[in-house]
Amino acid sequence: MPIKRWQATQRCGNLPTIQIIIFVNYTLRQFCQKVKSGRIEISELIEVVDSFANCCPLCHGSDCAQFLGYYYRQVVDEKGRYYRDFPVPRFVCRGKGKYSVVNHKTFSLLHYHLIPYSIYSIPYVVKILKSRHIDKQTVEDIQRYQGYITATGDAYKELSASGILAFKALLRQAITKIQAFALYPALSAKLAQTSGAIDRLLVFLAFCRSFTCHRYCPPIRGPCALSYDFYISGGSYFRNAFFLFGTPSQFRSIVA
C-alpha cells in the first residue's frame, strides 16, 4: 500500500472515533469469562472508562459518554481458540461537548489484542507467521495443531493457506505504516536496508515479538504491546490515531 495513502488520511481529523484500542490487563479468554459471569463492572475491567467522565471520545464533553452494553463478534485468541460471541464494550455519546460535529453517536472499545474486521487476534497472526517462516512449519503442520485445539474441547476455526497469505498482507500494511509515521527509527533503518518481502517480514516479526512498551508498570511486551504503543504514540482517541494492525471503521471509507 502506498505511503501517500496513509499520509492523505491525516487531513481527516473530523472523522468520528468509532473504534478505540484499549489496554486490558486480562487475556481474551479471561476478559470473555469475566464479562459473561455478569459479576464485574465495566470500569473494573477497563481502566480508561473512568477517563470518559471527563472527556467523551466523540465530543470531548464531560459526563457524556454512557455505557450501552456489549455487542458480540467472532474472535480467535492467541492459542487458536475460537469464540463465536466475544463481547465488545459499546458506548453512546450524548452530545454534551462542543466538538460534536458528526452524526455518529456510538463508539466501541477493542481489547488491544484485537484487529478491526478480523476474527484473528494479533498474537495469533504473529504466532502463525512465526511457525510458517521462522520455524519452517508447513501449512499442514499448522492445521494439525489446530486439530489438537479441537481435541482439548475448545472450538477452533480452520486456517487455510489463503488465510496465511492474508496474515502476511496485514503485516506488510503494518510495515508501511511504521515507515510512513517514522515512530521507530531503528526498525525503519533496518527495513530500509533489507530487500525481499520475506526478509522484511522476518525483520518486522523479530522486532514486534521482542518489543517492550513502558507505558504501564510492569511493562507489556510483544506484538500487542507494539500495536498499543503505536496507537498511543499517534495520540490515541484524543487525536483519532491510526491502528497499526487493521483499519478501524472511521478510516475504512478513505483507505479502502
**pLDDT tens figures, 44-101:** 898 888 888 788 888 888 899 999 999 999 999 998 899 999 999 999 998 888 776 5
Structurally, how many domains does the chain consist of? Answer: 1
191 located within any domain: yes
Nearest Cα neighbor of 183 from 220, 208, 206 is: 208
Strands 19-22 and 212-213: unpaired
Report the run of H or E that residue 82 belongs to, with start and end.
Answer: strand 82-92
As given in the structure block, the three cell numbers for residue 195 are 530487500
100 located within any domain: yes
39 located within any domain: yes
CB contact at 8 A, 245 and 115: yes
Which position has the grid cell 459473561? Answer: 36
147 located within any domain: yes
Phi-psi region of 75 (alpha: psi -120 to 50; beta: other; left: phi over 0): beta
User: Which domain covers residue 51, as residue numbers?
Assistant: 3-247
232 located within any domain: yes
223 located within any domain: yes
166 located within any domain: yes
Q: pTM, whole model, 2 decimals?
A: 0.89
253 located within any domain: no
Q: Band of the pLDDT at 255, cuts 50, 70, 90?
A: low
Q: Band of the pLDDT at 103, cuts 50, 70, 90?
A: low
Helix boundaries (H) for 28-120: 28-37, 42-45
Instruction: Round to whole Å and give the CA distance between 116 and 120.
Output: 9
Q: Is the pLDDT of residue 15 over 70?
A: no
